Amino acid sequence: MTGKYWNEKIETMPTEELKKHQLQKLKEQVNHCYQNCTFYKKKFDSAGIKPEDIRSLNDLKKIPFTVKADLRDNYPFGMVAVKSDEICEIHSSSGTTGNPIVGAYTRSDLNVWQELMARSIYTTGGRQQDVIHIAYGYGLFTGGMGFHYGAQKIGTKIIPASGGMTQRQIKLMKDLGATILACTPSFAVYLAEGMAQEGVDPRKDLKLKTGMFGAEPWSDKIRERIEKDLGIEAFDIYGLTELCGPGVSIECPEHDGLHIAEDHFIVETIDPDTGEVLPAGEEGELVFTTLSKTGLPMLRYRTRDISKVQTEKCSCGRTHSRMMCVHGRSDDMLIIRGVNVFPSQIEFAVMCFSELATQYLIVLDRPGALDTFVVKVELSEKAAKDSQLDKNELKNDIQKQIHIVTGISADVEIVKPGELPRTEGKAKRVLDLRTGKM
């Protein structure tokens, strides 16, 4: 492969041609679901619709939504649309309550996933001569295997590090000449902290040039910190176990949204409260329909991820729609004193201060009639050594910024570097003592 496209014909396909492709694949997918999946046949029959009623892309809204509870209620294989011996690989979410979300793959599904991940890695500049260090978890989590499959197709040298063992990860990246880092953004921050503590300078001691980060919402401020601390160009990647894993959309070098693989998915944006489909460009909840998935297809799956979709052609030449970076999930939204607050808003406010590290923790409680709202933040190593730093002034400034961003007041607690808990995977940002959960 040469050039900037993995598959130029697909990635730059004229919009009208792409829509024709989507409609044909949608009809096939709907028919496959109706004929082979008891769950979807019942859903269609209850709604009074048949596959032949889907004649245009606009007819998609006739189909009822699929939600996460459907997958849990039909665990493990109640929504599979093929014979059991056609399923050749199984992954699942890391959910902590109830049944996990299962992803069941046929050989065809794995081929599509590998193709999507190869396209994603290639879009960010990954080539055969690169060395990709994969620090996403392997096993049931889709992250590690998704990147592994995509890198295999490109021919990239793979370091399947998985999660954990920070010091060993740094040594492997250094000794094996990693050029691409793939992990969660919070783990990238964790690795950068580890390098600083061990006296490793990423710009001098490592060959890293690119990072591919996903599996959790992250702000532009976190991106700035990662790029500065690791000396790399950071790219956002998006996916869900329910859809295939990573590879649903990928950020191009223009960094103006993530290109959705519209040859394999249809995306809608809806009002999360009413379910009403919103015009392109308006912020809402993303809903995806798979077009080529055979094992466990999804029709109008509500992701709970909040974003907006731009349909204009990107200056990179790709014609597929772009979703803006997910800044939160509707089911992660906190209601504090009657106000809706996303953890990403707190992250944005905290990251405005160079004196702070990237770690923060939101602590909520209700000892009486009203919620208490505390944001714990860490000083950076440099700020902690600054004898001229006025912590009270800094605290007041942070409180003002949080109020500007969220509209409510928070108590801010500034702690020493390294005092807040770290996780070698998805970051845990909220301790809600009102529910007793973290």
Whether the model pTM is above 0.85 = yes
Which strands sit side by side in the sheet containing 430-432, from one edge to the other?
411-415, 372-379, 356-365, 430-432
Whether residue 438 lies inside any domain: the answer is no
Question: Is the model's pLDDT at 21 over the cut of 80?
Answer: yes
Question: Is the model's pLDDT at 137 over the cut of 60?
Answer: yes
pLDDT at 434: 87
- Do residues 311 and 361 share a domain? no
| Pairing relationship of beta strands 131-134 and 180-183 according to DSSP bridges | parallel
For residue range 29-57, what is the model confidence (pLDDT) as tens digits? 999 999 999 999 999 999 999 999 999 99
**In whole angstroms, what is the distance from residue 326 CA to residue 303 CA?**
11
**In whole angstroms, what is the distance from residue 269 CA to residue 286 CA?**
5
Model confidence at 437, pLDDT cuts 50, 70, 90, reads: very low
For residue range 88-114, what is the model confidence (pLDDT) as tens digits? 999 998 655 578 999 999 999 999 999
For residue range 257-316, what is the model confidence (pLDDT) as tens digits? 999 999 999 999 999 999 999 999 999 999 999 999 999 999 999 999 999 999 999 999
Whether residue 18 lies inside any domain: the answer is yes
For residue range 372-407, what is the model confidence (pLDDT) as tens digits? 999 999 999 999 999 999 999 999 999 999 999 999
- Do residues 139 and 286 share a domain? yes
The answer to whether 116 touches 153, Cβ cutoff 8 Å, is: no
- Do residues 65 and 161 share a domain? yes
Look at residues 326, 343, 372 and tell me which one is the last residue of a structural domain: 326
Whether residue 437 lies inside any domain: the answer is no
- Do residues 282 and 344 share a domain? no
Look at residues 305, 326, 347 and tell me which one is the last residue of a structural domain: 326
pLDDT at 1: 52
- Do residues 314 and 368 share a domain? no
For residues 337 and 28, the model is more confident at 28
- Do residues 60 and 178 share a domain? yes
The pLDDT of 221-250, averaged and rounded, is: 96
- Do residues 341 and 252 share a domain? no
| Total number of domains constituting the chain | 2
- Do residues 283 and 343 share a domain? no
**CATH code, domain with 428:** 3.30.300.30
| Average pLDDT for the chain | 94
**In whole angstroms, what is the distance from residue 252 CA to residue 238 CA?**
12
Look at residues 326, 360, 395 and tell me which one is the last residue of a structural domain: 326
Question: Is the model's pLDDT at 436 over the cut of 70?
Answer: no
Whether residue 38 lies inside any domain: the answer is yes
Model confidence at 330, pLDDT cuts 50, 70, 90, reads: confident
Question: Is the model's pLDDT at 163 over the cut of 50?
Answer: yes
pLDDT at 438: 45
pLDDT at 368: 81
**In whole angstroms, what is the distance from residue 278 CA to residue 284 CA?**
7
- Do residues 143 and 174 share a domain? yes
Question: Is the model's pLDDT at 191 over the cut of 80?
Answer: yes
The pLDDT of 417-435, averaged and rounded, is: 83
Question: How many other CB atoms are there within 10 angstroms of residue 175's CB atom?
Answer: 10
Pick the range with the lowest mean pLDDT from 93-102, 121-130, 323-332, 350-359: 93-102
- Do residues 314 and 382 share a domain? no
21-47: b (≥16 Cβ within 10 Å) or e: ebbebbbebbebbbeebebbeebbeee
- Do residues 317 and 338 share a domain? no
- Do residues 313 and 413 share a domain? no
CB-based contacts of 288, cutoff 8 Å, min separation 6: 240, 243, 248, 265, 266, 267, 268, 298, 300, 301, 303
Q: Which amino acid is at 78?
A: G
Whether residue 216 lies inside any domain: the answer is yes
**Residue 348 lies in domain:** 334-432
pLDDT at 243: 97
The answer to whether 139 touches 115, Cβ cutoff 8 Å, is: no
The answer to whether 104 touches 142, Cβ cutoff 8 Å, is: no
